[in-house]
Amino acid sequence: MLGMVGLGAVGIVVGARAQKSIAPVSSGISGILPGVGGFRYYSVVSSVKRIAPADYELEIDGLVKRPAKISYAELTSVLPQTHMVRNFQCVDGWRVENVAWSGVALPDLLDHVGVLPAAKALRISSFDGAYTDSLTLSQARRRDVIVATSMLGAPVTHDHGGPVRLYVAPMYGYKSVKWLSRIELVSAVEAGYWEKRGYEIDGWIGTGVHHHGGI
């Protein structure tokens, strides 16, 4: 059964997400809570520590020339900023239109650290301690994939994965890792949290080939 995930709200958790929580993982607790502007708040763990922007670091390592720990200040005021207004869509059937996003385009971050030729994919982790996902290197080089520090016109809130989350505009929401902590360049794509539980590894929206377990 579902936990209330410590996201600062009370309510009844029902529906499709409840199916997901029955995934064969004892540690998996899925939260679904009504959120801002049509968003829901999702977490697979019962609570996530808070990291203040001043204490935040994004680790980028693995098959890169210059492994780095990138501060929030670098992400917001040193590295080039990318802005876009795009929809956000979860496989569970909800969608939020025209969301404003800002941050650093992932290709700009990759150039900052220098990708080695052996790198073929990114392993992306959350400081929630449980959630991971992958992108191929070519997916990660798209300019509509950003390390987001702002969402809905304001700094990314804790419940939405702040201070820093990923936003993969052309793919379903599960590719947009919240509470982003580490990007490791690796030699092959690895299935992420939901992909081990039946989601497509490539989460392209609208290609009509998606299916996932439990629903």
Whose Cβ is closer to ligand MTE: residue 40's or residue 182's? 40
Binding-site residue total for Mo ion (CB under 5 A)?
Answer: 3
* Contacting residues for 138 by C-beta, under 8 A, at least 6 apart: none
Contacts of 99 (CB under 8 A, 6+ apart): 37, 85, 86, 87, 88, 151, 152
Find the length of the chain.
Answer: 215
- In angstroms, the CA 50 to CA 137 distance is 30
The item of Mo ion, ligand MTE, none sharing an interface with residue 203, based on CB under 5 to 8 Å by kind, is: none
Work out how close the CB of 40 gets to ligand MTE at its nearest, in angstroms, rounded to a whole number: 5
Residue 182's binding partner out of Mo ion, ligand MTE, none, with CB under 5 to 8 Å set by partner kind = none
Under the criterion CB under 5 A, does residue 174 sit at the interface with Mo ion? yes
Closest separation in Å from C-beta 118 to ligand MTE: 27
Q: Residue 173, interface with Mo ion (CB under 5 A)?
A: yes
Which residues are near ligand MTE by CB under 6 A?
A: 35, 39-44, 90, 126, 128, 131, 160-161, 173-174, 176-179
Q: Are 101 and 150 in contact (CB under 8 A)?
A: yes
Q: What is the CA angle 29-32-34, rounded to 5?
A: 160
The Cα 162–Cα 56 span in angstroms is 10
Secondary structure of residue 137 in the 3-state scheme: helix
Using Cβ positions, the residue closest to ligand MTE within the complex turns out to be: 173
In angstroms, rounded to a whole number, what is the distance separating the alpha carbons of residues 180 and 208? 28
Smallest distance, Å, CB 83 to ligand MTE? Answer: 18
- Partner interacting with residue 20 (select from Mo ion, ligand MTE, none; CB below 5-8 Å by kind): none
CA distance 181 to 127: 5
189 is a contact residue toward Mo ion (CB under 5 A): no
157 touches, from Mo ion, ligand MTE, none (C-beta below 5 to 8 Å by class): none
Q: Closer to ligand MTE at the Cβ: 28 or 114?
A: 28
> Which positions touch Mo ion (CB under 5 A)?
90, 173-174
